[in-house]
Amino acid sequence: MRCFGEGDPLYAPYHDTEWGWPKTTTQELYEKICLEGMQAGLAWITVLRKREAFREVFEGFDPARVVDVDIEPLLQDARIIRARAKLQACVTNAHAVLAMDGGLPELIWSYRVDRPAPTSWADVPAVTPASVELSKKLKKLGFTFVGPTTVYSLLQATGVVNDHLAGCLVRGEVERARQAV
């Protein structure tokens, strides 16, 4: 059984090979921060369908290159989510990542949580005290679009928290990968 994504040709592979698997590099984490911010108010599948275009317009999510991206032309690009504040957040957050001088993975992974497998989505919180605290820290560092719910989604997506449900076909593999971090 999958936690989500059954029957969708894009969603199922995302579930099986990406969601919850450890992301430990600055660039991987920065991409997830941007994409989780893009999701605010939308379904994740919407972001997932536009991810390749985002990777193109945001230079592979290389923060050193994104700092120079002009968002004005992006507001006309139908391939992506054209929300000015969300696009600007990606550029702003690139500056914040660079100012951390490589410290983003250490900060994010310092919020690692090991807990029993949830048995249903009702057992999975939208916000935790840790996501509230990390949200505040990121904002102090200059990040935007990093509210507590978005940050908790970030923690889930990057493997800092393993919220694959008990009985999920990849939960055990994800947990082993997390233990290696």
Residue 131 domain boundaries: 11-179
Active site (annotated) includes residue 106 = no
Q: Is the pLDDT of residue 8 over 90?
A: no
5 part of a folded domain = no
Say if CB 29 and CB 104 are below 8 A apart. yes
Say if CB 64 and CB 88 are below 8 A apart. no
Q: For residue 152, what is the domain's CATH number?
A: 1.10.340.30
DSSP, residue by residue, 78-112:
TTS---HHHHHHHHHHHHHHHHTTT-HHHHHHTT-
C-alpha span between 55 and 46 (Å, rounded): 15
pLDDT band, very low/low/confident/very high, at 96 (cuts 50, 70, 90): very high
Q: List the single range of 2-11, 23-32, 89-98, 107-116 with lowest mean pLDDT.
A: 2-11
15 part of a folded domain = yes
Domain count, the chain: 1
4 part of a folded domain = no
139 part of a folded domain = yes
pLDDT band, very low/low/confident/very high, at 7 (cuts 50, 70, 90): confident
- The SS3 call for residue 21 is coil
Which one from 14, 18, 28, 173 is the annotated catalytic residue?
Answer: 14
**Single pTM value for the model:** 0.96
Which one from 21, 30, 44, 111 is the annotated catalytic residue?
Answer: 44
6 part of a folded domain = no
On average, the pLDDT of the chain sits at 97
Beta bridge partners of 162: none
Which one from 11, 21, 36, 109 is the annotated catalytic residue?
Answer: 36
Active site (annotated) includes residue 19 = no
20 part of a folded domain = yes
C-alpha span between 104 and 138 (Å, rounded): 10
141 part of a folded domain = yes
86 part of a folded domain = yes
